[in-house]
Structure 1
Amino acid sequence: MYAIVEIAGQQFKVAKDQKVFVNRLSTEEGKTVDFDKVLLVGDGSNITLGAPAIDGALVGAKVLRHLKGDKVIVFKKKRRKGYRVKNGHRQSLTEIVIESIATSGAKKAAPKKEAKAAPKAAAPAKEAAPKAEAKKAAPKKAAKADDLKKVEGIGPKIASTLVEAGIDTFAKLAKTDAAKISEIIAGVRGNHVTDTWPAQAQMAADGKWDELKKWQDELDGGKA
């Protein structure tokens, strides 16, 4: 018997006594944990699908240890720009062993196929409600942050530092004094020249990408 289960945002195909490395769980080492987002259960030729999860099905596991994965190096370089950024990352993981796969709710998943055809008469009313909710949720899309890394001299670390300080758009960066920007990113390793960043950000905010690209070709890591 095997199952496909969602654990900490990832999907795994698991079987009894199998060891799995998953994203860090909050459960302490030596304790057991149950996962109820079981998407599929297979037992020989019998396969049960959830919609999306199988109602009542559980995968039980025991936490063996918490650890960190292998280091991953991300290196970015721009030719003739003097721009180099090197970052390392080790993912926090948890090793678990699968102890049981319970399918007590597998039979309850079958009637859901009939439920799709039954409420056809009420479909128009149900479709109208989500549209109204979608209109209310629409303003959230307008709050999307700009990609500050498009400004010459700004890397991923600096971009995240600026966003944490509330500078998440080209317009906000353009209104921020270069000296103030230097104070905000003081903790980021490297020699960063911020003099041209507000002007670059203003051109990006105005949509002058061709002019900005031509200027950036003349810059060296953000320095004129």
Structure 2
Amino acid sequence: MYAIVEIAGHQFKVEKDQRVFVNRLSTEEGKKVDFDNVLLIGDGDNITLGAPAIDGALVGAKVLRHLKGDKVIVFKKKRRKGYRVKNGHRQSLTEIVIEGITASGAKKAAPKKEAKKAEPKAEKAAPKKATGKADDLKKIEGAGPKAAEALVNAGFETFEKIAAAKPEELSTVLTEASSRLAHIVTDTWPKQAKLAADGKWDELQELQDRLDGGIEK
């Protein structure tokens, strides 16, 4: 049996006992993790397709270790501007081993009656979103437009609020917003946000120059 599953923003074809390198996960080494965004399951001649995901399907895995990938050189140049920048980057990765593939067993969606009861709660939680002017969160290394939007929607619209948060809390916000944001490393985001909130832009730049894959050297 094999499956095609989305993990940290990328799709993988996996089988039981297979080892896979994925973008860094927030799960600790030795812990188990489940992935429910299963797009396809193949078992002999039987193939099950999702629309887009298969309801109830799960891929179970265990985190073996966190590591960094090979260095990639990033060179930027602007013609006739005298602008040249050369940087090295090593992607933060996580090695996992696939422990099992199940076609059913994930938590089922709540019945329609329960969903209706939950709607008022969602409306009450809505004011948590930012109503005032948000800071330019993209100044934080690793926070692109989508990540910044997810933070604002979760109530972290200013540098001060991010500085007061824990990296694990910010990582949870990104993961819940989209599986494509789950790989982003937020370890230094509170520290970066603190410098930005205090207007220490030179110190922020120095810190960002020391970062490698979102981790301070």
TM-score of the aligned structures, taking structure 1 as reference length: 0.47
Larger RCO, structure (CA 8 Å, separation 6 or more)? 2
State which structure, 1 or 2, has the greater radius of gyration over its C-alpha atoms.
1
- Give the structure with the larger strand fraction: 2
TM-score of the aligned structures, taking structure 2 as reference length: 0.49
